[in-house]
Structure 1
Amino acid sequence: MKYMGANELRDAYLKFFESKGHLVMPSFSLVPKNDKSLLLINAGMAPLKPYFTGVEEPPRKRVATCQKCIRTGDIENVGKTSRHGTFFEMLGNFSFGDYFKNEIIPWAWEFITETLSIPKDKLYVTIYLEDDEAFDIWTSKTDVDPSRIFRLGKDDNFWEIGVGPCGPCTEIHFDRGDGKIASVEEFVKAADEDRVVEFWNLVFTQFDKDENGNYNRLANPNIDTGMGLERITTIMQGVDNIFEIDTVKNILGTVSKIANVEYKSDDSKDVSLRIITDHVKGVTMLICDGVQPSNEGRGYVLRRLLRRAARHGRLLGIKELFLTKVVDSVVENYSSGYPELLEKAQYIKKVVLLEEERFNETIDSGMDILKGYINELEVAKGEVLSGEKVFKLYDTYGFPLELTEEILEEKGMKVDLEGFNKEMKEQRERARAARGTTSYMGSDEIPVNKIEATLSTSFDGYGTIKHHGTVLLLSDTTEFKEELSEGEEGFLVVDSTPFYAEMGGQVGDTGIITGEGFKAEVLDCKKNPGGKIYHVIKVSYGTVKVNDTVSLEVDNIRRNSICKNHTATHMLHEALREVLGEHVNQSGSYVDSERLRFDFTHFSALSAEELDKVETIVNEKIMEAYSVCTDVMTIDQAKNSGAMALFDDKYSDEVRVVSIGDFSKELCGGTHVSNSGQIGLFKVVSETGVAAGIRRIEALTGFNAIKYFESKSEIIREVTSTLKCNEKDILRKLHSQTADLKEKEKEIQELKLKMVQGSEDDILASAKEIKGVKVVASTVEGLDGNSLRDLADKIRNKVGSGVVVLGSAADGKVNLVAMATRDAIEKGIHCGKIIKEVATIAGGGGGGRPDMAQAGGKNPEKLNEALAKVNELVELLVK
């Protein structure tokens, strides 16, 4: 057996199966396409499900890939075991109704024993109990020793996920021991002890399991194999840990150097080193595939991985921001297999840096919360922190359970583990319920999503809005139909249509379909998971039948408006790159007849000046009336011509390139105006942030932009009428009136303060003494924040020693202020902590220093309740 690097192994596998007639495809994105059953791609075959189900035609009957995968089900075990990781690569070769067991079994043996030179006396094979066919092929077409083949049950050697394609499998195992196992019992024991390692699973997809549990034989069985690259690399490199293979070890070495911690010198620190290594690898790949940190879905997975990595950096004593340095190591070690990492490295690092900065702020807040919980326990003479509070720290502030346990242990306290696990379980159940039950592809179970791949539909609407076609299929939401009649809604499929199906951010067309004796309204046009176009219709009158010849006509006014907005998004993209820089790339878009929305990569809000420049550039290019041309070319020709492409999109051999004069050139399958002048006018109406490193612009074009300006003009007319002035004097008049109002407000506050000052003695008389600290907590009528602060300062001076908390309701809002004397602070008083808790009750928030803090609130009716909390808080704080 020879030593092979992970990158070398990946290459060897793909070249081997390329020599067997397989099309080697690049890894699909980690973000599933048209598959609602998955949050992230978690297996090599997952992106290929449409080919297995027959809803999409594969590019070739034989395919081989090395697929990026993410699994987080065992995230708590990552770093603690030798084999758990969140990001991994799955080598796979697939047959879609082409070859079967007779071919794949001898090929697998050839690759393992000849290409990789793994000793045969270190290998074992398992097969499904009833799969005599596999046994016969193993023993007749390879030279494996029959005594090294073991039959196992359904749990081990039969692959199925609910209903759908399934079948028996054969697994190939490597023995780290002496290679002398004589029985199934010995084999199972050795596997449980990790002495025997399964590294390649060959799935024979020969059945289709229905809802009744019947296993129906497939006319064209498939092959689906999966071999974990990390696992086979551990075997080839003679290590027993995925963190010790060359590529991963290099990243771990970078982390060790940053932390100044030697690997294998401290078990607990080794766990942190491995977690950082694994998680940053996953984070880098996720961001490269377009995932952004957020609080839900795949964005939450990314955020969780990133924050766990940052947290373990703290446990190792790393004080500075460090994750981007680890990203550099990931790019260096994985870019030979995934060259897109090099192209997006700077963007990935920017997203990581922003998120790490935010996490540092969050975990500091969490530490303050934990200290508060500990304080409460000490006062109550308790020893166990509730599971609810531990979970809040974990879920909201990113605190790992082990970190909370460690801090509590130093105080002689512990965690309510049972309560914490209960909260975790409830969260998982909520997530599961939110996902709901899905089918194999996770798509809606409507008939049009099960159209055979052999059926052909085409879009022929680039140059026309009218077309004739033949009705191929009709259905409602439950079954295929031969006809649909007046009043019925359903789905219609024709061989050729001028209706654009919703795709690439552009909405589907609407319009009408007519035929002999019938008319139907087209409410929408979409594509199913297999790429087949279907129309959502409602029959206005008559009956439409399968095989009818029909006339299809798109709503031209709506289509034109959509085209204007779509072409404007291309121009906006280019204008943003001119103003902000080449790092700007499209992150998403939405185009309908009313407006356009464009998401792009950038790391700060645009200034008013930048937005003005962008808007001006787009309008200048509109007025230059550029021709909008479309060319069809190969993907390589398109890239060589300088056309921009969405990075995570997979393109066919031939692509459409849309050019707007010499200003913009992008790959795009949507519909556009023929000349930029047809857009008429472009107006940005908002610019906001939607995720870390992602900004969003919403804009209007054409008549919608004109209507926008008309609405602003109407507002100006109303303002001039109210102020009784002309347009040019609006600002002067407003400034004058604002200054008058401020002066009057100042006078009113001064009068209120004079009135209140007369009651200072009454406020002081309400003071209570708690643990040797005087406490004044009182409401005052109608004072603003400044006046309230002045009053609190005077009362603090008069109280001599203690804490003053005042609250006032004015204009439907609450103002709060807390002040404390120096000796009260030394006894434990912290105004910032008091005001934060008090403000929360009043529907607000705030904070500050130990000696002074201010806050606001939205619920004046809660003011008395909020101030009643002060005495309790002082009781907790005073030592």
Structure 2
Amino acid sequence: MQTHEIRERFINHYVKAGHAEVPSASLILDDPNLLFVNAGMVPFKPYFLGEQNPPFPNGTATSIQKCVRTLDIEEVGITTRHNTFFQMAGNFSFGQYFKEGAISHAWSLLTDPVDEGGFGLDKDRLWVTVYLDDDEAAQIWHEKIGIPEERIQRLGMADNYWSMGVPGPCGPCSEIYYDRGEEYGEYGGPVVDDTRYIELWNLVFMQNERGKGIGKDDFEIVGPLPKKNIDTGMGVERVACILQGVENVYETDLLAPVIKVAEDLTGATYGRSEQLIKAGDTESADYHAAHTDDIRFRVIADHCRTGLMLILDGVTPGNEGRGYILRRLLRRIIRSARLLGATGVTMEKLMDTVRSTMTPSYPEIADNWERIRAVAVGEETAFLKTLESGTRLFETIAAQVKGSGLTELSGDAAFSLHDTHGFPIDLTVEMAAESGLTVDKEGFDARMAEQKARAKADNRAKKHDHADVAVYRPFVDNHPTVFLGYDSTEAEGSILGIVAGGALVERAGEGQKVQLILDQTPFYAEAGGQLADRGQITGTGGAATVDDVQKTGKKVWLHNVTVTGGEFAVGQRVTATVDHTWRHKARQAHSGTHMIHAALRQVLGPTAVQAGSLNKPGYLRFDFNYGEQLTADQLRRIELIANEAVDADYQVNTIETSLDEAKAMGAMALFGENYGAEVRVVEIGGPFSMELCGGIHVEHSSQIGPVAVLGESSVGSGVRRIEAYSGVDSFRFLSDQHKLSGALASQLRIPSEELPDRVEALTTRLNEAEKRIAQFRTAELSAKVGDYLLQATMVGDIRVVAARVPDGIVAGDLRTLATEAKSRAGSDAGVIFFISSDPESGKVPFIAAATDAAVAAGVKAGDIIKTVAPYVGGRGGGKPAMAQGSGSDAAGIDAAVKAVRDIVADATGAK
């Protein structure tokens, strides 16, 4: 039975039982506790917590949720049980049925004959576990379902009490296992052998809320949930293994084709280690090599699927957060393929295979294939360059560490690989382990901390975890905010609640910063890249400035205000007034963003897809997926098309319709955004621009005013950013540019239109002049070499030139001097040391060189640099023939020069 049929049977089973079918949510949800959706129940969490009422007619639902868990990345491939991406089929009850209903539904699907819609599993092969004291569940399994008591086993909290690992819903659970047979292990159920007995389904009897804690069993139970609920999770991939009669998920119809393509691309063979095990060979070098190859094949298959699904949901490779996880996955694929023998590019063929296997279940993959392909291939192209140079450097460093008799790679070395060569620390750790080394991770982390202190407070105040959100529950369920901002900028309303310091209060006085919850408001809450409105809230005896507006539960507007006078009280009538100028300029920028997006797609094609945006009064920022830097001509065309659309005075229409109808109309959706059944389409000029958007816009495109593109830049691998001004801010910018070009033209005494050619000609002349100056400077320095050689002294058989050269000679010039002096020394044993200082920067550059004869005599330039560096408060290093460094204390220069002769004497034994 193919995996997509397993999915269909699951959904059909529960839909027939009255459950509402819910599509999989994006892997990216606005949850401060989760990087990715990691369980099937995550999208339903607000209903379990009582933050929102479930919108399902019968209070039940079913879904097959995409999930990603990244804690086990290092384990992927080592065993056949770990996957980063998986599909969790589940059924959910919100206060309707409980234990007996969940157990009965699951049992019938697993054991009903195939021709009746079930999976047809042998009832005698199924075992179950229950929580230690859950007599009720054990009784249902035995008396209602008929499972013998010896096949019902009890386990503790670590195994049979479920939570997400963070504060949220939790409860005891019952797991269903399938006995794969005696050839897989010892008889006795899952408590004896969880390899022979494979877990298929976890039925969670969700009735409590967990608090903070660590691990699976070290947390407090905050209290009961508002209702007793059911959350189940059936592993689609695990059921596929059983129904397809294969050993593990890597042999199912979803991943086996990827491994086959990997074999074709690399010339290696998968599965040799299993063959050797069956032959009794588990100790030979051939077995260990085969086992390592099999791990790499599994890494490729697993990470290709996860990477594609993350890109599908809008993640792009980057250096932080979700982007870092994706980059790490893609780079592990590339490196594994190279180690298996691949010599060319591999990503496109591998990803294309994943497309073929996953599209039957996720048709949207086909619609977004070009974007997915471009992101994956772009990352491979960039990383292959990094891998080549970084691997050579790593091998050199590893050899040096081993040669010194050490077993640990220093934090400094790991940081250099990361900072200079783009080598992720995880890759360094992996390669070190393969070389029999460890990495000083603490030292690396310390260097990273020294490099930059990351700002963390930007959005912290805007996020609400479970401990905070409880205070808003009554409003989310019973008093959702009525938003009037599409039609007005002023409205009267009543204060339903005041929140200060995370708690509800009855009053707020002058000087306090609080959140006001109104029954209705004209204020736009930050969303879709558009910043929240600013303005005032006033009432009898009270006034406040609105500093920000956020949503909670997608239903309640939280007005973050500073009380500037008087007092506010719950129940008070107030007038909420949006700052008209702020709103006008903000909607200009938001509509301008739609103009830029539409123009961008005309110029670059449909693969240039939005990856984020920011709109604030007079300014817009638009991020998009694209692998190349835009040319000046492309930017000019984008700006022209956007302004032509402004000049066309297009009507701006908003249409509220179903999500399916919006997609049929051709409206673009933002990847990673989760839309409800009803959506809002913003249409500007018919086919010119049509997007799903809840923001506030102008009525006609001409109201945007001119759009001035400031430029574009890279904000990560495969992600570019365009910045622009709109409205009067655009005019000011263009006016400043006009004044600047006019002043330059006047100074050069030419018409403004000739400025580009004249500037180019002047730049060319300047570059040529700088080259000539550099040539003269090199010649001048070379001429001075003879003077320094005359100052040489003999230390034993080695001629030593150690001198302080004039201030202002930079490191590059010192290298020229040292290279020339070394060249003139020829085959003689000679050591050269030059040092200078730069009064402007305060730096003290120095360099050492040693001829081959001097190195053979035991004198190494690198040793000289390391020894003299402390005299000038510096550091440095290099090779035996040439090394250099830099310090900051010029007072030690003379001592450093004098020390060189002593160093040579010590190295050679000369007196």
Say if 2:491 and 2:522, in contact at 8 Å, map to a contact too.
Answer: yes
Corresponding residue number in structure 1 for 2:20: 23
Task: Pick from 122, 127, 142 the counterpart of residue 119 of structure 1.
Answer: 122
**Root mean square deviation, CA, Å:** 4.8
The amino acid that maps onto 1:69 is C
1:531-546 map, 5 Å: 531-546=555-570
Corresponding residue number in structure 2 for 1:39: 35
Say if 2:818 and 2:832, in contact at 8 Å, map to a contact too.
Answer: yes
Deviations 1:458-501 (A, max 9, x none): 21211211222232222212211223233332112222211111
Residue 773 of structure 1 deviates from its aligned partner by 11
Residue 589 of structure 1 deviates from its aligned partner by 0.5
The amino acid that maps onto 1:146 is E
Q: Aligned in 2, Cα 1:438/1:676: closer, same or farther, shift over 3 Å?
A: closer
Deviations 1:548-583 (A, max 9, x none): 333222111110000100000001001111111121
Q: Which one is further off, 631-640 or 675-684?
A: 631-640
1:52-71 map, 5 Å: 52-60=48-56, 61-71=59-69
* CA–CA separation in structure 1 for the residues paired with 2:319 and 2:32: 19
Residue 96 of structure 1 deviates from its aligned partner by 1.8
Say if 1:122 and 1:178, in contact at 8 Å, map to a contact too.
Answer: no
Say if 1:52 and 1:222, in contact at 8 Å, map to a contact too.
Answer: yes
Corresponding residue number in structure 2 for 1:415: 437
Task: Pick from 267, 270, 274 the counterpart of residue 291 of structure 2.
Answer: 267
Corresponding residue number in structure 1 for 2:200: 199
How many pairs align? 858
Residue 816 of structure 1 deviates from its aligned partner by 8.9
Say which SS state the counterpart of residue 33 (structure 2) adopts.
coil
Residue 669 of structure 1 deviates from its aligned partner by 0.9
Task: Pick from 257, 266, 288 the counterpart of residue 250 of structure 1.
Answer: 257
Deviations 1:193-226 (A, max 9, x none): x222222111111223568945644442111111
Residue 444 of structure 1 deviates from its aligned partner by 7.2
Q: Which one is further off, 430-439 or 332-341?
A: 430-439
Corresponding residue number in structure 2 for 1:795: 821
Corresponding residue number in structure 2 for 1:135: 138
Corresponding residue number in structure 1 for 2:515: 491
Say which SS state the counterpart of residue 255 (structure 2) adopts.
helix
* CA–CA separation in structure 2 for the residues paired with 1:228 and 1:874: 70
Task: Pick from 694, 702, 711 the counterpart of residue 669 of structure 1.
Answer: 694
Corresponding residue number in structure 2 for 1:190: 192
Corresponding residue number in structure 1 for 2:115: none
Q: Which one is further off, 210-219 or 149-158?
A: 210-219
* CA–CA separation in structure 1 for the residues paired with 2:817 and 2:619: 52
1:553-632 map, 5 Å: 553-632=577-656
Task: Pick from 432, 440, 446 the counterpart of residue 404 of structure 1.
Answer: 432
1:796-835 map, 5 Å: 796-801=822-827, 812=841
Q: Does 1:445 align with 2:452?
A: no
The amino acid that maps onto 1:415 is L
Residue 8 of structure 1 deviates from its aligned partner by 1.5
Gaps of 5+ in 1: 408-413
Say which SS state the counterpart of residue 187 (structure 1) adopts.
coil
Q: Aligned in 2, Cα 1:749/1:214: closer, same or farther, shift over 3 Å?
A: closer
Say if 2:185 and 2:196, in contact at 8 Å, map to a contact too.
Answer: no
Q: Does 1:172 align with 2:176?
A: yes
Q: Which one is further off, 9-18 or 726-735?
A: 726-735
Corresponding residue number in structure 2 for 1:154: 157
Say which SS state the counterpart of residue 191 (structure 1) adopts.
coil
Q: Aligned in 2, Cα 1:597/1:420: closer, same or farther, shift over 3 Å?
A: closer
Deviations 1:145-171 (A, max 9, x none): 333222222222222446543221111
1:325-404 map, 5 Å: 325-374=349-398, 376-377=400-401, 380=404, 382-386=405-409, 388=411, 396=424, 399=427, 401=429, 403-404=431-432
Q: Aligned in 2, Cα 1:368/1:659: closer, same or farther, shift over 3 Å?
A: same
Corresponding residue number in structure 2 for 1:638: 662
Residue 756 of structure 1 deviates from its aligned partner by 6.5
Among all aligned residue pairs of Structure 1 and Structure 2, give the percentage whose two residues are the same amino acid.
37
Q: Aligned in 2, Cα 1:712/1:808: closer, same or farther, shift over 3 Å?
A: farther
Deviations 1:782-802 (A, max 9, x none): 457997676566434422147
Q: Aligned in 2, Cα 1:167/1:519: closer, same or farther, shift over 3 Å?
A: same
The amino acid that maps onto 2:432 is T
Corresponding residue number in structure 1 for 2:147: 144
Say if 2:789 and 2:801, in contact at 8 Å, map to a contact too.
Answer: no
Say if 1:689 and 1:696, in contact at 8 Å, map to a contact too.
Answer: yes
Q: Which one is further off, 196-205 or 67-76?
A: 67-76
* CA–CA separation in structure 1 for the residues paired with 2:462 and 2:725: 39
Q: Which one is further off, 591-600 or 726-735?
A: 726-735
Residue 701 of structure 1 deviates from its aligned partner by 0.9
Say if 1:443 and 1:449, in contact at 8 Å, map to a contact too.
Answer: no
* CA–CA separation in structure 2 for the residues paired with 1:874 and 1:234: 70
Residue 227 of structure 1 deviates from its aligned partner by 1.4
* CA–CA separation in structure 1 for the residues paired with 2:648 and 2:857: 73
The amino acid that maps onto 1:239 is V
Residue 689 of structure 1 deviates from its aligned partner by 0.6
Corresponding residue number in structure 1 for 2:6: 9
1:517-528 map, 5 Å: 517-528=541-552
* CA–CA separation in structure 2 for the residues paired with 1:741 and 1:583: 39
Corresponding residue number in structure 1 for 2:100: 102
Q: Aligned in 2, Cα 1:250/1:431: closer, same or farther, shift over 3 Å?
A: farther
The amino acid that maps onto 2:292 is S
Say if 1:446 and 1:479, in contact at 8 Å, map to a contact too.
Answer: no
Say if 2:398 and 2:409, in contact at 8 Å, map to a contact too.
Answer: no
Corresponding residue number in structure 1 for 2:231: 224
Say if 2:153 and 2:191, in contact at 8 Å, map to a contact too.
Answer: no
Q: Which one is further off, 264-273 or 859-868?
A: 859-868
Q: Aligned in 2, Cα 1:529/1:425: closer, same or farther, shift over 3 Å?
A: farther
* CA–CA separation in structure 2 for the residues paired with 1:36 and 1:293: 20
Corresponding residue number in structure 2 for 1:762: 788
* CA–CA separation in structure 2 for the residues paired with 1:869 and 1:26: 75
Residue 56 of structure 1 deviates from its aligned partner by 2.7
The amino acid that maps onto 1:41 is V
Say if 1:80 and 1:271, in contact at 8 Å, map to a contact too.
Answer: yes
Q: Which one is further off, 533-542 or 279-288?
A: 533-542
Corresponding residue number in structure 2 for 1:240: 247
Corresponding residue number in structure 2 for 1:410: none
* CA–CA separation in structure 1 for the residues paired with 2:600 and 2:675: 25
Q: Aligned in 2, Cα 1:790/1:207: closer, same or farther, shift over 3 Å?
A: closer
Corresponding residue number in structure 1 for 2:82: 84
Deviations 1:700-738 (A, max 9, x none): 111111222343455557768988999789886997799
Deviations 1:90-137 (A, max 9, x none): 111111222212311111110111111111111111112222222333
Residue 79 of structure 1 deviates from its aligned partner by 0.9
The amino acid that maps onto 1:126 is T
Q: Which one is further off, 544-553 or 444-453?
A: 444-453
Say which SS state the counterpart of residue 670 (structure 1) adopts.
coil
Deviations 1:276-314 (A, max 9, x none): 111111111111111121222111111111122222112
Q: Which one is further off, 521-530 or 604-613?
A: 521-530
Say which SS state the counterpart of residue 468 (structure 2) adopts.
coil
* CA–CA separation in structure 1 for the residues paired with 2:606 and 2:818: 54
* CA–CA separation in structure 2 for the residues paired with 1:660 and 1:632: 15
What TM-score comes out, normalization by structure 1 length? 0.85
Say if 1:387 and 1:421, in contact at 8 Å, map to a contact too.
Answer: no
* CA–CA separation in structure 2 for the residues paired with 1:180 and 1:263: 21
Q: Aligned in 2, Cα 1:302/1:491: closer, same or farther, shift over 3 Å?
A: same
Q: Aligned in 2, Cα 1:90/1:858: closer, same or farther, shift over 3 Å?
A: farther
* CA–CA separation in structure 2 for the residues paired with 1:22 and 1:772: 90
Say if 1:518 and 1:541, in contact at 8 Å, map to a contact too.
Answer: yes
* CA–CA separation in structure 2 for the residues paired with 1:66 and 1:317: 37
